[in-house]
Structure formats: structure tokens, C-alpha cells
Structure 1
Amino acid sequence: MNKRILVTGAAGQLGKTIEELFFKNNLNLDFVFVTKAELDITNYNEVKNYFNNNNFDYCINCAAYTNVEQAERTPKIAFNINAYSVKYLAKLCRENNIILIHISTDYVFDGEKDKPYTTTDATNPINEYGKSKLLGEKYIMDILKKYFIIRTSWLYSKKYGNNFYKTVLKKAEIATELSITTEQTGCPTDTVSLSNYIINTILKSTPSFGIYHFCGKKPMTWYDFTKQILLDNNLSNKINLVKVNNYCTFARRPKFSVLENTK
């Protein structure tokens, strides 16, 4: 019997990519994809009723509030989606014997290291987004025994959602010059790679639960990433790329948030 998997937040870039891979690869898995309009994870009773009327082996939680700047201005919204709703989801997964796969972030770290972060490194988020995601992680670990927390970084899709990759290409259509920061270093991660990693995690016969790190293999600054995007799309000669060292944002960002892809 095929494993039955619920994907929440299915309208986002990761959810859409998982859905595309499912239909493309004819996987021996039964996926159910729900958007916020179809299942609002911040509504406990709605999720409870949904779980009572449907049987699942796994829940992949792709629902998240990822606007780092706005999270700093309206932290209540970020905590409601990234932490408190995750707490309720974890409780319902426990009650229904569902394995939770939760997507987290490199922003749970402060960026003060000069070596890649491991899963055992101390967390210390420096913005409200990171704090809300870390609290969500803690709820899961307190409530569940069967879970995967997968931290990733600088997630982007070439096809879906709003992300840095697509923003660069949009700006390149109308601008002749782009000023990009060199202050932050991370690992851009494409949704296809992460989706395959999640699917392979489910397909393993003897899963080892806990926290995992998965991100792109090559650390780079936002400037480096922009340079690569322009190169891949044959736009390098059309855009003058300018390095900026003091790019100001409302929310603080970790200067170095490279993750080590070990466990």
C-alpha cells in the first residue's frame, strides 16, 4: 500500500515543485496537496476535522511566513504561522500517528561563525522571522518523536513563487545596473533539489528522525548569486553589477549562514 502524504502550503514555490515532481516521475506515493484556501493551518479546528476525516502517513508542512522584513514589523503574524500553528499541527500529527516533515531555515543561527553550521550548533536567531521558526522547531521536538525538521537556506524556484532569483531577472528587464550586497554569505538552494531530498527521505525504509540540514553545495554572497543568475541567463553583458557593502535592511540578517549538509 502506497504511503499517503499531505502537503500543506501547496501554493508556494516548494509545494508547487513537489507537486510537479510527483506528476512527472510517477512516484509510488499518494500525495494530497492543499493550499491555504483549502486548509488553513492557523485554524486548529479546521485542521483537526480534516485529519479526522482523512488518513495520512506523512505531513509535509510547506506553509510558512517567509517575509523577513515584514516579520520584523508584524511579528505576531509570523509567530502565528511559523510557531503557534506548527504547535497545533504537531499535536494533531501525534494524535493521528502522522510523521511530520517541517521545513525550517538557516536564520535560526546568528551568523557569527566562519564555518558551516551543523545540526548540533547552538541556535541564536537575530530577527523575528528566525525566532518564530526556531520556536516552531522547539514545539515539534517537545511534542513529537516522529519528525523531520529540514533546515534549508536561500530557497528559490526558477518557475514558482516570488524569490530572489526571479526578482533579479525582473529587474534585469528594466535596469542596466544592479547594486547587490556582499555582506551576507549563504547557500542558494533550488526547490527541485530540496523536493527530491524530501521525497527520498520518505522513501527510505528505515528513517532516522530528527533535525537535518539540506542546502545548495556552493556558498556565495548575494552578489555572487546574482552574478551566477545573470550568467546562466546570458545577461552578464547587459547588466552592470555593483558591489554594495553596507546595504541597509529593517531586519538584521546573519552574515554567514552556510549549513553543513551532514545530518
Structure 2
Amino acid sequence: TDNLASICAARNIFLIYISTDYVFSGIQGEAPYDADSTRKPTNFYGETKSKGEDSVLRAYQRADGTGWGIVLRVPVLYGEVEYNKESAVNVLVDSIWKAQEDGVIIPMDHWAIRYPTNTEDVARVVEEIAMKIISTPNKSKLPTKVQFTSEDHFTKYEICQLLARILDLPINNLKADFPDRDTCGGIQRPYDCHLSTKGLLDLGVDVSTVDFEEWWRCHLSALKR
């Protein structure tokens, strides 16, 4: 990340670094998180993305190119995929089908809150950010960190309930799970990492998103045909 950012910064190449809501701790009561809120990642993925953010912004600061490099944080994503396992949301469809087998019990998290966001919405926002920033003459006043999220929110178990209704399948073998709630193996688990989209709104970027249930009804209906 540091090498790529340094190369782009040295040549005044615009770079958007896609990061995650997991750079925040997600402790109950803290959300929503602003773009400049204190980062306290609680897992390896969040730590690596947080370090990536620092690498990108530091590279552009060194090259006196502030405004040409920007961090975009997003939550868990879903959308069109070749294989369901490509998305932590899409793969839940496979869990529902697995739960149709006799003698299978599948625990599913019913504690942490997720904000599944569609990849097509993210792609549109990335394009809008690029157009806004590239067309702005004085980039020194532009934000270096922005955030995008859907406002639809569910636990993983609630997502499974919704998808099962659409598929008209029972989920008796899918059990709501509350794994130590706050901690797992002594490690703090994010409960709610809801992101504020104020920075994008201030830029004039459209932060609307497709409705989660509506998208899945269309997607799963198409697969049935």
C-alpha cells in the first residue's frame, strides 16, 4: 500500500483507498462514527486497513499532494458475485441451504449489528467522489477521509431470516447465537460500527442506497427462473 501510494502521490495521480468500518472499536454507545473519530480496531483486518489509511495519507503529505489521496470507509458489502463466498452477506444464502439438511445445526450471530451496502452503490459513490475532487481546483480544502454506508441494519441472523422468507425456506436448523456478546476469546468484538456519511454529504455526493430486501427479492427471483 505504501509503495503504491508513494508512486501515485509523486505523480499527482488521484487515489481512493477503500477501507472498512472495522477501524473503529464498535463498542456499544459509540456509534455513529465520524470520519475523524478515534480509530481503535479490535481485529487484524481492522488493524491492517487502519495502517493502510495511514500509509496513503502520509504518502500524499510527503509529496505535498494533500487532496489527491482520499480514504473511503465502507461496511460489509453485498451484490452481484460469481460465487456467494465472495461476500460475507451473499454467503449466508449458502448457510440457509445448508440448514435444510437433516441433523445440521448452524449457529448464526444475533448480536453484532451490520450495515450491508450494495457494491453498485459503492461504485457510484467512488465515481462521484472522483469527479468532485478532480474538478476542484483547490484540493487543500478537501476532506482526506470520507465514509459511505447503507442505513439498513441487521444482525447476521436477521439477514438469514429475511433471505429465508424470500426463498420460502424454513430455518429451524439455524440457531440465533450470542457468542460471549462483547468478547470472543478475550478479544473485544465490534457491536455497532455505524458510519456517519456527513463528509460525503458536504461534498455533494448522493448517499442514497438500494433497499436491501428489494435487491435480494429481485436477485433471488432471477436465480429461480
TM-score greater than 0.5 by the shorter chain: yes
The answer to whether the Cα contact below 8 Å between 2:89 and 2:116 also exists between their aligned partners in 1 is no
Question: 1: distance between equivalents of 2:72 and 2:36?
Answer: 13
The residue type paired with residue 51 of structure 2 is: L
Partner-residue secondary structure (3-state), 1:187: coil
In the other structure, the counterpart of 1:219 is: 153
Question: 1: distance between equivalents of 2:159 and 2:121?
Answer: 17
In the other structure, the counterpart of 1:107 is: 22
The residue type paired with residue 165 of structure 1 is: V
Question: Which whole-Å deviations, capped at 9, do the CAs of 1:191-223 have from their partners, x for residues lacking one?
Answer: 111111101112223373410110111222222
In the other structure, the counterpart of 2:170 is: 238
Residues 261 and 225 of structure 1, relative CA distance in 2, 3 Å threshold: farther
Structure 1 gap ranges (5+): 1-85
Question: Which is strand-richer, 1 or 2?
Answer: 1
Residues 215 and 203 of structure 1, relative CA distance in 2, 3 Å threshold: same
Alignment coverage as a number of residue pairs: 176
Partner-residue secondary structure (3-state), 1:133: helix
Question: 2: distance between equivalents of 1:229 and 1:214?
Answer: 24
In the other structure, the counterpart of 2:71 is: 149
Q: Among residues 155, 180, 190, which one is paired with 2:108 in the alignment?
A: 180
Partner-residue secondary structure (3-state), 2:26: coil
The answer to whether the Cα contact below 8 Å between 1:103 and 1:151 also exists between their aligned partners in 2 is yes
Partner-residue secondary structure (3-state), 2:179: coil
Structure 2 gap ranges (5+): 61-65, 200-225
Partner-residue secondary structure (3-state), 2:127: helix
The percentage of aligned residue pairs carrying the same residue is: 24
The answer to whether structure 1 residue 119 and structure 2 residue 35 are counterparts is yes
Using structure 1 for the length normalisation, give the TM-score.
Answer: 0.61
Question: Which whole-Å deviations, capped at 9, do the CAs of 1:15-47 have from their partners, x for residues lacking one?
Answer: xxxxxxxxxxxxxxxxxxxxxxxxxxxxxxxxx
Residues 140 and 189 of structure 1, relative CA distance in 2, 3 Å threshold: same
Using structure 2 for the length normalisation, give the TM-score.
Answer: 0.70
